[in-house]
Amino acid sequence: MHDIRAIRDNPDAFDAAMAKRGLSGVSSQALALDEERRSAIHAAETAKAEQNAASKEIGAAKARGDEAEFERLRALVAEKKAEMAGLEDTARTADAKLTELLMGLPNLPADDVPEGADEDDNVELRRWGTPPDLGFAPKEHYEIPGARAGLDFETAAKLSGSRFAVLTGAMARLHRALAQFMLDTHVDQNGLSETITPVLVRDEAMTGTGQLPKFAEDSYRTTNGWWLIPTAEVTLTNLVAGEILDPATLPRRNVAHTQCFRSEAGSAGKDTAGMLRQHQFEKVEMVSITAADASDDEHARMTRCAEDILERLGLPYRTVILCTGDMGFGARRTHDIEVWLPGQNTYREISSVSTCGDFQARRMNARTRDADGKPTFVHSLNGSGLAVGRCLIAVLENGQQEDGSIALPEVLAPYLGGKLTVTAEGVLA
């Protein structure tokens, strides 16, 4: 959410930043509502003062027997009371409209974010690893014989419909191993604090991180009003909602492995085969809460944490910075990490790491104190470290062998009882 005072102070700069995100004339709408609200508040305060003054004079008029003045003053008090009520209602309405407008505006992009319309305008920052020459025509993950035995989409469709999967045997164990490996690496090597959070949250939590009110259709809601989280960003970030944090405790770095739920609204027809785009999936999510002057460095650090997972697994990837037209609603800068998938002969997103500045903190009222002890908003960051199902896909496709078996990364040996092969029959060996 944006600070109306900052818009007042420099509307042209605000409009210029919003224009990069495809919006125009925003400041004039906000300032008009702000002026209506402030004028109504000022007029209500004036009416209140006039009411109070008249109330004090009523007694004196009564005491001196001035009945006409007494009646005039009494009528004036009633008039000012009604006027004040109407002005307060006007102020509340304008304030609600202003809040709705500000809540619906995306974050301002950082200065180094490239301008562009869509993913074609994203800018590659670096690559790691070389896509493997398998020596045969690679298959997609759901076509590999060794994987096929443990990926059951037909039964999942019977249970739940499309965009679900049942994992069994080696696939289930490999999926679990990947999540454990990610958690252990982030905790033991990257200094994150492992956290278990609910997957059901209230409206306030979804509003705090920007999923509500604008993107309600992208998530699932229960009949009694809870929301299923689209990512643990929601819960991990909201851990500090409404708090004033001791500066000595920053940065706060948390990681959680959770189920995630997305309706995939607007993705009809995209990635319908396999498990690349699911309604229910698992992620290992990183969230950092920092002071304002540390958030850019923290963004770079978190990106490296996610990249390091792929390097340890030996999976080629590239890192891009998203352009203004492709960046998420709450982000001021986003690095997407895209892993190489031989079956699609392309890189596909496996992690988005974003810094949100104070955008979410304003919505959550999450603060710390500056050097003078004055409350100031924290900065929040989030990133996948990684999407577990997509990582499973990458391991399967990059490790596939011509005979249908799959060679697994050595770093997973401790999690798989030392077995680093999935046979063509789908058995760990």
Known binding-site residues equal 231-233, 262-264, 285, 349-352, 382, 384
Closest by Cα among 251, 186, 230 to 328: 230
Count the helices and strands in the chain (H runs, E runs): 12, 18
Told to judge if 390 belongs to the known catalytic residues of this protein, a careful annotator would answer: yes
From 277, 304, 348, 362, the catalytic residue: 277
Provide CB contacts within 8 A for 384, sequence distance 6+. 231, 283, 284, 285, 286, 306, 350, 351, 352, 353
Told to judge if 221 belongs to the known catalytic residues of this protein, a careful annotator would answer: no
Angle between helices 388-399 and 169-188 (to 10 degrees): 110
User: Residues 422, 405: contact at Cβ < 8 Å?
Assistant: yes
Phi-psi region of 264 (alpha: psi -120 to 50; beta: other; left: phi over 0): left
Return d(Cα 305, Cα 311) in angstroms, integer: 10
Return d(Cα 382, Cα 386) in angstroms, integer: 11
Q: How far is CA 184 from the centre of its chain?
A: 23
Closest by Cα among 193, 182, 381, 185 to 287: 381
Judge residue 17's burial from the number of C-beta atoms within 10 Å of its C-beta, 0-12 exposed, 13-18 middle, 19 or more buried. buried
Return d(Cα 171, Cα 396) in angstroms, integer: 10
Q: How far is CA 224 from the centre of its chain?
A: 23
What residues are paired with 167 via a beta bridge?
151
Provide CB contacts within 8 A for 276, sequence distance 6+. 348, 389, 390, 393
Annotated binding site for ATP: 262-264, 349-352
Closest by Cα among 53, 55, 4 to 30: 4
Told to judge if 348 belongs to the known catalytic residues of this protein, a careful annotator would answer: no
Which DSSP string corresponds to 174-216?
A: HHHHHHHHHHHHHHHTT-PEE----SEE-HHHHHHHT-TTTTG
From 37, 163, 363, 390, the catalytic residue: 390
From 349, 362, 369, 425, the catalytic residue: 349
Told to judge if 252 belongs to the known catalytic residues of this protein, a careful annotator would answer: no
SS3 content of the chain, % helix, strand, coil (to 5): 45, 20, 35
From 27, 352, 354, 380, the catalytic residue: 352
Annotated binding site for L-serine: 231-233, 262, 285, 382, 384
Do strands 244-245 and 367-369 pair parallel, antiparallel, or not at all (unpaired)?
Answer: parallel
**Type of residue found at 280:** Q
From 37, 163, 253, 262, the catalytic residue: 262
Told to judge if 262 belongs to the known catalytic residues of this protein, a careful annotator would answer: yes
**Which residues are known to be catalytic?**
262, 277, 349, 352, 390
